Structures are given as C-alpha cells and as structure tokens.
C-alpha cells in the first residue's frame, strides 16, 4: 500500500481544498473549505460558473447573501463527490460576535437544508475565539455541528470540548511556521511544535473522554502528517495527498487511546477569565489566531470584490 492507503487504516482522511477534481482523485471521506480556498477556486475557469450563477440568481440580495450562496454552492458540489461531511466557514469578521456567528450558522444550515442536505452532513466552521466558542455551544444545542478552526493551543481545545463542539482543527503548519521563524530551527517531524501540540490535545481528549473530534490541519510536509497517524481526522491539501500516494514508505500508528490514558495530563477548568489569560500567555497562539482572522477577513473582502465586479 502507498502511504495514503496506509494512513487511511488509522485516520479519516479529509481533503483541504475547493478543487472538485482533487477530491475525486484521492477519495477522502470529508472535505473542508475556507475563504482563502474558495477565493482561489473561483479564479479558475472551471469554477467560474459557480460564481457567476450565485451572482446572477441572487442579484437582488445583499452581498452577504450572495457570498453565503456561493459557499453553499461549493459545498453542494462537494457533497456530490464525498460520502461524508463538508465544512463551510462563517464570515471571519464575526469572530468576536457571538450572536452574529449564531445567526450566520443558522443561515448556512438553512440554505443546505433548503437544498435537501441533512445538517448531519455539514460542519459550520467558526474561529476558536471565546465568542466563537460560545456561539458553537448554542449551535450544537440546536443540532448544528461545528468545526472550530484557527486553533493553536490546548486551552482553546479544552474550551471547545467543554462547549460540546463536534470537531476542532488544530493548525499544525502555522504553529510550525511561528516556531521556525522564532528559533531559526527546522524541526524533525517528531519534534515539530505543531505535531506536539496536536499530540497533547489528543492525549487530553482521550484521557478525559472528550467526545469532540480532532482534525489536524494546515500541514507543511508529509512528515507532520505521518507523525500524527491515529489522530481522528487529518485534513490534507491535494499536493500533500499526491505525495502520500506516490510513496510506499511505512506509516505506523503514532496516536492511540491507550497511550493517551497513560499520559500525565491534568484536568483544566476554564471560565472566560482563565481562557483569556492562558491564551494571552501563549504568544504563538495569540499571534497566529489574530493573524488567521485577519487573513480570512482579507480574502473574504477580495471575494466580495469579485462578486461586485459581476453585479
């Protein structure tokens, strides 16, 4: 078996892309999108009709409605290809707006359900701010499942699990980027700070029987991926999926519930003050969360500009 086939024995593989052809090629169970991936996709000729149709069919509505229709249009096409779930992101500009995030999550699910898709096949992506996590608690209670993104630290992961979020997406590659820049070191996979962060979260969740799924994300190389074999899910870009498919090097299971039970993790109790304090104490997590929100906001604005040019 190649590395991708071996990995699928231990971990659910998810495609991190808006490219339908890549999904067909690598047969992932689930797929994730974000504003940056959608922006990249609609600038390709083969996906331009989705953008044009969203603008044409909803021209009488406001910009936010057209953007939502475009995101859901991509999601609907993806769900024709994959057997599992698609993740669709809320507007990053709502990252500090609990009520706004709740409303947007309901709107997106409403669009999917109007198209005949069960909410069980959709995850609403929300930034792992305190406000976003509060919104996820409410949405989960209403049967709207959430994928908590832009997650860089154990306190964020603990708060998401406490809120009952369906899934978290710790960003391995962006953690690696920060530490590489700060230290000047190029880490081996086993010592990679992003890999170590996901391993800590996995150990904590399994030791304390948290039901929230862990989906490692934002990978820079296949070493990071292979080192997390056994994680619940891993969302992987098409270029790295191809590299895994092209290699027959062995893949061993690195994470297991049995190992987690033997860890020395201590239970963390969080309220808002403790969450904000612990996050603030982590310079990497604080900086990467803020940067990630800014980047997603910027790409949403660029997407809106493309739409405005067609109206």
Contact, 81 vs 20, CB < 8 A? yes
Q: What is the pLDDT along the chain (311 residues), one digit of tens a residue?
A: 999 999 999 999 999 999 999 999 999 999 999 989 999 999 999 999 999 999 999 999 999 999 999 999 999 999 999 999 999 999 999 999 999 999 999 999 999 999 999 999 999 999 999 999 999 999 999 999 999 999 999 999 999 999 999 999 999 999 999 999 999 999 999 999 999 999 999 999 999 999 999 999 999 999 999 999 999 999 999 999 999 999 999 999 999 999 999 899 999 999 999 999 999 999 999 999 999 999 999 999 999 999 999 98
Count of CB atoms within 10 A of residue 15's CB?
Answer: 28
119/99 Cα distance (integer angstroms): 20
Dig out the tokens for 158 from the structure.
């603990």
Helices (H), 142-192: 154-162, 172-183
Tell me what pLDDT residue 185 has: 95
Which domains, and CATH codes, for the chain? 3-310 (3.20.20.70)
Contact, 109 vs 115, CB < 8 A? no
Phi-psi region at 3: left, alpha or beta (left = phi > 0; alpha = psi -120 to 50): alpha
Tell me what pLDDT residue 230 has: 98
Tell me what pLDDT residue 311 has: 86
Q: Which residue of the set 125, 199, 207, 288 is catalytic? A: 125
Cβ-Cβ contacts under 8 Å for 160 (sequence gap 6 or more): 128, 133, 136, 148, 151, 168, 212
Is 125 labeled as catalytic in the residue annotation? Answer: yes
Dig out the tokens for 230 from the structure.
């056994």
97/227 Cα distance (integer angstroms): 36
């Amino acid at each position: 078996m190649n590395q991708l086939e071996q990995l699928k024995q231990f971990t659910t593989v998810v495609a991190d892309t808006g490219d339908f052809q890549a999904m067909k090629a690598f047969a992932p169970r689930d797929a994730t999108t974000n504003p940056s991936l959608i922006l990249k996709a609609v600038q390709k000729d083969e996906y331009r009709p989705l953008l044009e149709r969203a603008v044409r069919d909803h021209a009488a509505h406001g910009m936010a409605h057209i953007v939502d229709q475009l995101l859901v249009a991509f999601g609907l096409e993806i769900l024709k290809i994959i057997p599992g779930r698609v993740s669709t992101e809320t507007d990053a500009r709502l990252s500090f707006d609990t009520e706004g995030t709740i409303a947007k999550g309901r709107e997106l699910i409403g669009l999917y359900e109007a198209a005949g898709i069960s909410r069980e096949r959709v995850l609403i992506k929300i930034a792992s701010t305190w406000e976003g996590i509060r919104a996820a608690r409410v949405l989960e209670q209403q049967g709207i499942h959430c994928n908590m993104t832009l997650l860089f630290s154990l306190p964020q992961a603990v708060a998401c699990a406490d809120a009952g979020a369906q899934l978290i997406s710790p960003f391995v590659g962006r953690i690696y980027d920060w530490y590489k820049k700060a230290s000047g070191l190029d880490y081996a996979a086993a010592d990679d700070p992003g890999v170590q962060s996901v391993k800590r979260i996995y150990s904590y969740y399994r030791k304390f029987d948290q039901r929230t799924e862990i989906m490692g994300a934002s990978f820079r190389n296949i070493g990071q991926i292979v080192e997390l074999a056994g994680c619940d899910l891993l969302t992987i870009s098409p270029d790295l999926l191809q590299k895994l498919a092209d290699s027959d090097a062995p893949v061993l299971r690195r994470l297991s519930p049995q190992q987690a039970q033997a860890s020395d993790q201590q239970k963390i109790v969080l309220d808002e003050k403790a969450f904000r304090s612990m996050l603030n104490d982590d310079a990497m997590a604080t900086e990467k969360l803020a940067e990630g929100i800014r980047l997603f906001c910027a790409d949403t604005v660029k997407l809106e500009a493309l739409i405005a040019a067609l109206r």
